[in-house]
Amino acid sequence: IIIEDVHDEL
């Protein structure tokens, strides 16, 4: 499971 360190969602 990838937790994005950069939030790419609005």
The residues binding another protein (CB under 8 A) are: 1-10
What minimum distance in Å lies between the beta carbon of 5 and another protein? 7
What minimum distance in Å lies between the beta carbon of 4 and another protein? 7
C-alpha 10/C-alpha 7 separation (Å) is: 8
What minimum distance in Å lies between the beta carbon of 10 and another protein? 5
For 7, half-sphere exposure in the C-beta direction (CA atoms, 13 angstrom radius) is 2
